[in-house]
């Protein structure tokens, strides 16, 4: 039986991050709304209660019946989870004199307690709470304090609780704490790995699909590509993939990705439907209208090709775990629709197959490596379904797409070619994300491309700016460059790319791309901005 850690979500922005950290410990976990604890599930070996935007004293604060799991399996409360446990079991939680936010250091740690085994003195942690625990329940012990927070951690009766966030990078030994809980306290056998996932999933797919034919829509991205290779290993030529070119992919992307898929031995049908898409988009400038037209046309083209495949019974999708988590809030109501979570068009009459539905993005990449896929496919940045159509401000023409493709190609190739050396926490973040790199004398060397979550160029087609090239006045379009760092795309910060790199890219684009005479760099974070411009 596969062991499982249950993470009960009380609405924290970092709940997914808790899940990713547990998975990094080769332990399966499932994130569930706070009120959906699974009953009679013998595979559960521990429970983690997340943080929350609420105070435990708010009338609308989320509450859970602790007797469902306390005393049955080990429990770890984080931030709100720690305060809720204390408040519920007879301790005291009061509003702090000032919000306790940011870096702090553990002035006292009970190193004999299994939760803090291996901790160093004065270890840095990350606080983020407005309330604070001023008294703990009877029979519990304080096991860590900072100079400002007496009960930074407490334990008793099979419960461990911390008021800081061990899941974030700023808590330097947070992974050690989670390992102590998951492995030492809960007894995880650490059997969840890319290799075990591939073996188990291939066996399950063979059993689920039998000799049925399966259709999968490929996008060129890592999720659908890994799903295709996994299915191909399970059912071989019974899988047919469809890759639709709407004409707004990156430069040479359709050709290059088709070549990659052929090298992987996939049965792929490539469809050039660019004439239809460009025709239907002519004169359209509204971003939402662009997306709707492209989405509608894609379904029409895909369905037309799918109908040609005789005997197909399944539609496979590259849905991953964050897609499903983000589509439900902690009350179980839909708050954000994902293209892979909306079900199937009724006219297709196919069953749904989602082989990656339990994986986080970094796990998908690890599975891709386990399957022997080329690194450039595995590390591809996310790319919007409508493609460059939502990176052109204004109406879409072939000429404008070509301008943006050329500028974007220079930018992306430059990001791949530019190498930087990292050490300390920066190196740790990159390695934790699964980027292949070797540590030499405490340093790693990686490309800028592998340091950022997503990058691309944007053509401001509705704007023209004056420039001078040689002795001639120009009146052409600006291009904006975008690069962000993120862990899940829910929030993102602009990437601090080196000035030397930006200067060279700007110069190359202006000199080599006809129609561009100005390059800007977008330094907006999400929120308040979005990653894409449209």
Q: Is 69 left (phi over 0), alpha (psi -120 to 50) or beta?
A: alpha
Please report, rounded to a whole number, the percentage of residues in the chain having pLDDT higher than 70: 93
Using pLDDT thresholds of 50, 70 and 90, give the confidence band for residue 329: low
Q: What is the mean pLDDT of the chain?
A: 90
Per-residue model confidence as pLDDT tens digits over 131-146: 999 999 999 999 999 9
| H/E segment holding residue 272 | strand 268-272
Measured between alpha carbons, how far is 59 from 61 in angstroms, rounded to an integer?
6
**Can you tell me the mean pLDDT for 33-45?**
94
Residue 438 has pLDDT above 90, yes or no: no
- Give this prediction's pTM: 0.79
Q: Is 79 a catalytic residue?
A: yes
Where do we find the tokens 């569930």? 32
Q: Which of 79, 186, 241, 353 is the catalytic position?
A: 79
Query: Which residues pair with residue 248 across a beta bridge?
Result: none
**Can you tell me the mean pLDDT for 223-227?**
95
Q: Which of 24, 100, 167, 476 is the catalytic position?
A: 167
Using pLDDT thresholds of 50, 70 and 90, give the confidence band for residue 343: very low
Residue 489's pLDDT is 66
Region of poorest pLDDT, from 52-56, 71-75, 258-262, 487-491: 487-491
Nearest Cα residue to 198 out of 355, 400, 16, 431: 355
Residue 323's pLDDT is 76
Contact 322, 361 (CB under 8 A): yes
Q: Which of 165, 305, 326, 534 is the catalytic position?
A: 165
Per-residue model confidence as pLDDT tens digits over 380-421: 998 888 999 999 999 999 999 999 999 999 999 999 999 988
Contact 28, 3 (CB under 8 A): yes
Residue 77 has pLDDT above 90, yes or no: yes
Contact 138, 92 (CB under 8 A): no
Q: Is 142 a catalytic residue?
A: no
Measured between alpha carbons, how far is 396 from 283 in angstroms, rounded to an integer?
7
């Amino acid at each position: 039986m596969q062991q499982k850690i249950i993470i009960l979500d009380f609405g924290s922005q970092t709940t997914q991050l808790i899940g990713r950290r547990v998975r990094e410990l080769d332990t399966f976990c499932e994130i569930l709304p706070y009120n959906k604890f699974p009953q009679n599930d013998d595979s559960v070996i521990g429970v983690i209660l997340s943080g929350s935007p609420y105070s435990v004293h708010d009338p609308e604060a989320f509450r859970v019946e602790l007797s469902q799991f306390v005393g049955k399996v080990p429990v770890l409360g984080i931030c709100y989870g720690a305060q809720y446990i204390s408040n519920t079991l007879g301790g005291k939680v009061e509003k702090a004199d000032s919000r306790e936010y940011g870096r702090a250091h553990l002035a006292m740690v009970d190193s004999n307690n299994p939760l803090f085994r291996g901790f160093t003195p004065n270890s840095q942690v990350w606080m983020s709470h407005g309330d604070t625990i001023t008294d703990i329940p009877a029979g519990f012990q304080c096991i860590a304090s900072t100079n400002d927070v007496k009960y930074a951690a407490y334990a008793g009766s099979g419960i461990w609780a911390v008021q800081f966030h061990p899941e974030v990078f700023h808590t330097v030994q947070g992974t050690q704490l989670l390992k102590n809980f998951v492995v030492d306290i809960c007894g995880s056998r650490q059997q969840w790995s890319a290799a075990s996932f591939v073996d188990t999933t291939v066996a399950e797919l063979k059993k689920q699909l039998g000799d049925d034919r399966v259709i999968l829509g490929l996008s060129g991205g890592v999720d659908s590509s890994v799903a295709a290779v996994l299915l191909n290993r399970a059912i071989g030529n019974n899988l047919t993939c469809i890759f639709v070119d709407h004409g707004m992919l990156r430069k040479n992307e359709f050709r290059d990705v088709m070549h990659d898929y052929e090298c992987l031995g996939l049965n792929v049908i490539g469809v050039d439907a660019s004439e239809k898409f460009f025709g239907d988009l002519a004169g359209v400038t509204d971003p939402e209208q662009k997306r709707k037209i492209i989405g509608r046309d894609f379904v029409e083209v895909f369905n037309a090709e799918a109908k040609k495949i005789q005997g197909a019974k399944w539609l496979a999708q590259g849905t991953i775990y964050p897609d499903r988590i983000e589509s439900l809030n902690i009350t179980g109501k839909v708050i954000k629709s994902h293209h892979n979570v909306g079900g199937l068009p009724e006219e297709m009459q196919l069953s749904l197959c989602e082989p990656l539905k339990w994986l986080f993005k970094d796990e998908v990449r690890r599975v891709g490596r386990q399957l022997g896929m080329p690194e450039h496919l595995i590390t591809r940045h996310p790319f919007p379904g409508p493609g460059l159509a939502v990176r052109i401000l204004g109406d879409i023409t072939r000429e404008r797409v070509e301008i943006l493709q050329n500028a974007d190609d220079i930018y992306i190739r430059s990001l791949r070619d530019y190498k930087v050396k990292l050490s300390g926490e920066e190196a740790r973040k990159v390695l934790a994300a699964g980027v292949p790199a070797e540590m030499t004398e405490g340093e790693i060397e990686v490309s800028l491309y592998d340091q950022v979550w997503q990058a691309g160029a944007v053509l401001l087609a509705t704007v023209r700016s004056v420039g001078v090239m040689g002795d001639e006045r120009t009146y052409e379009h600006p291009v904006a460059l975008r690069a962000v760092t993120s862990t899940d795309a829910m929030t993102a910060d602009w990437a601090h790319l080196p000035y030397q790199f930006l200067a060279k890219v700007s110069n190359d684009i202006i000199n080599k791309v006809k129609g561009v005479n100005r390059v800007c760099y977008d330094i907006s974070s999400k929120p308040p901005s979005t990653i894409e411009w449209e």
